[in-house]
Structure 1
């Protein structure tokens, strides 16, 4: 795992790239790679790469990047891991390529030289790749299929700038931090910024499964090389429950096995839930030494403390177990570091315990960890999936009524539905009546109708952006048009494309890399994703049981009490994290903002109602609070976050 950055100067400019700017970009992301650093300048000095290395495979200097082909034509900087690189290496060696290292970086370099752009379809792994062709005078960027590794870019003043993190781009003198108001509008709904937007004006994020091609004449083209499938892949009979479970288990074993490729110590973040426990169980079968496991809990939050479950799994599989109990009173002290490493606000308080358990792993010399992200999204593991599916089934008849009747009914109900706080049931019924989508996300802050109140009489209210509902619909409609998948499949598609890729995986990447450790995600092997998208909804939600097919596939490997236990979530929730001290801090900032994006009367009323009634407005408050912190840190330059 590493950090990459670079600049391409277009031919319309006579400037050359100063080395000190490349060094500055690398320094901004030094936490991603504390083991080595390097820069590269093309022959004409109009293309520059900067690199920071976290050594995982081939710890020698032979793995140094930027790496160049022997003929000097192609140069690469690469962040990630290619799990099938040995298989590809054998093919390339048979074709005559001679290796100088044991790295997967060199395999990518030769794969591009041998197969051209189509090489990307042969890679199995997580990656953000930048390749420069001296002969073509073309820069190419690639992001992995699922979006596990990020890559950001900006086109500004006759140059193209990119980096693993936005802070690398901001380290140049070419970009000044400003708020992208369209991104802010959608952040308020989704609690993160959906790709390709970012909250920094002029900075974009490459979408999962996409590549960019940038020429020195300034032309930029983008194409999709992989999309989330909407139909079954392979030859497994999806109506044969036992066959589906058997194949799923074999895919998971294969995925975990290949993700154990490492020349440094590795372990697992363990909660004692089904996903992390499956990681431990399968790794224990494949290893000849104890698995290193790590758990975190928050002091005083006994209802979310999962130590008993984690210890049970640790004893069962004889792991070398580590625990840390953190005090939420230290949250405010950690705020500047969290805001710095996130780049953009991720209105998810899990970043706090995740930071501590990542540091615990690093302090115990573990450099690579397996995590459980992606399982709930693919196999309908959240309660909201079940609730929404049941609600949609119960109210589906409404959408089949004549449109004129639905519109009349909607008009009659509008006066009764004008509440400022909208829950998912109200949103489903309302949208079934007026023809809107019934599902937006598993985690939301403000629905579009709530934003009308939040943004009333502000400059943002006068902007004519597509609603967040329309933003979501444009993506899901393209997916639905392929094979008209069922309702649950559309929900899962949107969660994989949006919330998983741009919230959960960015949370994992930014916070683990803040502690210089690499997180691998076995449930998000693209073969598992392709297979899971073809599994019918009746095997994901069955008789009220979420993740039914996954649970059945793991019986016999894990005890039933682990498989069937109540889902808690990673080290608590936002509701628990909004302690009196943190709420007081949030209130002091939100009532005295240094900007005019929100209607202050509405914000004040929201805070007062929360204090008075204790209605769960935590998602809304946490979303506004995180934006305020981000704005003060990145836009105003208050890096100490002083009140």
Structure 2
């Protein structure tokens, strides 16, 4: 997996900047706990922190072959096929790592190597011949990569903190950045801090003396779907079998994340079949006193526990439950670690519980398979099936979440966030690729659902992948997301919405493809989101923290808060706040305050 950093400056000798590059590199120490490497040469400097997964001994970075040097984060799942192709072309290899394959692929195909790669990756290659830097990111944006242009080059890193560690960059936030960080969308390319950007998924950037040149090498396109429903279901299964088998490649212990939902259960069952005689290892999260005292709410009908255990028994997995307590979820230590991992305000116990789960898993495994993104690919969220949410000219998920998260912010700020979000929504809609409506064959509903699926695959999925990456890499755990394989995403995106709901339920294509490997209880289970604790002890702790923030006029978030609304919320009886709305608002306000206090971004018109 790893963390990468770098610096190109065509007017400075970077060989003298080892101390600065080392400081940048060490911000990535959690992403790469196994090794550190520094490479400096003239106008280029590259740093790498390694989490060793494939070829533990040989895959040391930065890695050089001939005129090219690479720092690489991620996994290339088809590296064995690429290696065979390159060997047939005369290349020789001294390691068994996928990094060396990517580097030699660059020497053979240049920037065009990315079109040949299947995987999750972010990498930088310095070419001494042309004195150019290539930055690349995978198609779905599974692995992050940030950059900041400078007058004479560029700074880059896997996370914003790497760039912030260079004295040449100052953390500033303007009106747009504040709205971006508080809205419920993730704008491709936006990094919140003024002057910093995130490389857009499916793009490369070439840095030269002439400046930065962006190239899109992949995007969702509209294609006619010619398979019928049975053939579509069969092809989805074929793809999943191949994807899971590819993503089980590892030289270190591997496991699955199991929630008892359709997505994670399918991956656990398919992984178990692919491993043959070896039992798959699985982990699930739960909360103290949760399963026995669970109360259905607007988001969740059932607790995960019984379904998790049904799957574990059905497939015979080596299973462990990770049970979290309130003091863990609300602890200052967990909040601090989550903030440092994100570099931005987080999502309360949705973040801290994921971080704590990953930390426990990391004691026994280095790689995990996750069902993340299946809802975006197959249409699993409840608002996909809510005519009112679909009809609104807004991000469909904004309705369920906007009230829960922004209610405690100043009204004028909330209005500016809403206007910003409407603008970003309209930009996204204008990108959507549509099929020509020959003979009226594309109904208005099918057209709208294509838009809704596109919004999820290019905006919402980025929020979730970012959260997954930050929380997992904070403990040095590599989490793979099979449902983000671009072949599966492209194929399912172009299936009609009527196919995605052919059995009258959500995620029909996925259910049809994997029903034979799952217990009936999971096949019939209704979609449930990632769990949040219902224990009132957690609510009490965050209430107390926000009361302190609101009472302190020097608190960084004080000017951005609606203090009357905070007083009303805190006056409600314990347990009387809505899990979906009020509590999320408490968490968001606290997260904003913690972020402003820790990062001290200079405000440029953001007040």
Check conservation: 1:33, 1:516, Cα contact below 8 A.
Answer: yes
Deviation (angstroms), 1:224: 1.0
Check conservation: 1:347, 1:626, Cα contact below 8 A.
Answer: yes
Deviations 1:549-586 (A, max 9, x none): 21122121112211111333223269979612112212
Check conservation: 1:76, 1:132, Cα contact below 8 A.
Answer: yes
SS for the counterpart of 2:506 is coil
Residue among 308, 311, 323 paired with 1:310: 308
Deviation (angstroms), 1:511: 0.8
Check conservation: 2:75, 2:120, Cα contact below 8 A.
Answer: yes
Deviations 1:417-468 (A, max 9, x none): xxxxxxxxxxx3xxxxxxx4474647633699x8998352x7x98x899721
Cα separation, 1, equivalents of 2:513 and 2:13: 61
Deviations 1:312-364 (A, max 9, x none): 21111111111221112222231111111111223353211211221121112
Check conservation: 2:61, 2:70, Cα contact below 8 A.
Answer: yes
Deviations 1:352-400 (A, max 9, x none): 1211221121112x1100000111111111111111xx2378xx7xxxx
Deviation (angstroms), 1:469: 1.0
Q: How does the TM-score come out when normalised to structure 1?
A: 0.84
SS for the counterpart of 1:179 is strand
Cα separation, 1, equivalents of 2:555 and 2:176: 16
Deviation (angstroms), 1:229: 2.6
Query: Compared with structure 1, are the counterparts of its residues 134 and 565 closer, same or farther at alpha carbon in structure 2 (3 Å cutoff)?
Result: same
Check conservation: 2:389, 2:396, Cα contact below 8 A.
Answer: no
Deviations 1:225-270 (A, max 9, x none): 11123334xxx634x1111111101111111000011111100011
Query: Compared with structure 1, are the counterparts of its residues 447 and 30 closer, same or farther at alpha carbon in structure 2 (3 Å cutoff)?
Result: closer
Matches within 5 A, 1:110-125: 110-125=104-119
Deviation (angstroms), 1:41: 1.1
Check conservation: 2:261, 2:525, Cα contact below 8 A.
Answer: yes
Query: Compared with structure 1, are the counterparts of its residues 578 and 465 closer, same or farther at alpha carbon in structure 2 (3 Å cutoff)?
Result: same
CA RMSD after TM alignment: 2.8
2:344 maps to 1:344: yes
Q: How does the TM-score come out when normalised to structure 2?
A: 0.88
* Counterpart position of 2:286: 297
2:213 maps to 1:215: no
Residue among 455, 459, 477 paired with 1:498: 459
Cα separation, 1, equivalents of 2:187 and 2:567: 26
Cα separation, 2, equivalents of 1:133 and 1:357: 40
* Counterpart position of 2:377: 378
Deviation (angstroms), 1:490: 1.0
Matches within 5 A, 1:274-423: 274-287=262-275, 288-302=277-291, 303=294, 305-330=303-328, 331-333=330-332, 334-347=334-347, 349-364=349-364, 366-387=365-386, 390-391=387-388
2:30 maps to 1:65: no
* Counterpart position of 1:108: 102
* Counterpart position of 1:269: 257
Check conservation: 2:236, 2:513, Cα contact below 8 A.
Answer: yes
Cα separation, 2, equivalents of 1:65 and 1:164: 15
SS for the counterpart of 2:170 is coil
Residue among 45, 49, 61 paired with 1:48: 45
Matches within 5 A, 1:191-202: 193-202=186-195
Instruction: Point out where structure 2 has 5 or more consecutive residues left out of the alignment.
Output: 295-301, 438-445, 603-607
SS for the counterpart of 1:127 is strand
Q: Give aligned pairs, total.
A: 577
Deviation (angstroms), 1:158: 3.2
Query: Compared with structure 1, are the counterparts of its residues 301 and 170 closer, same or farther at alpha carbon in structure 2 (3 Å cutoff)?
Result: same
Deviations 1:617-636 (A, max 9, x none): 33433323211111112227
2:245 maps to 1:257: yes
Matches within 5 A, 1:152-167: 152-156=146-150, 158-167=152-161
* Counterpart position of 2:592: 627
Residue among 519, 522, 525 paired with 2:485: 525
Cα separation, 2, equivalents of 1:172 and 1:593: 32
Cα separation, 2, equivalents of 1:628 and 1:605: 16
SS for the counterpart of 1:486 is helix
Cα separation, 2, equivalents of 1:356 and 1:474: 36
Residue among 551, 558, 577 paired with 1:614: 577
* Counterpart position of 1:592: 552
Cα separation, 2, equivalents of 1:566 and 1:250: 24
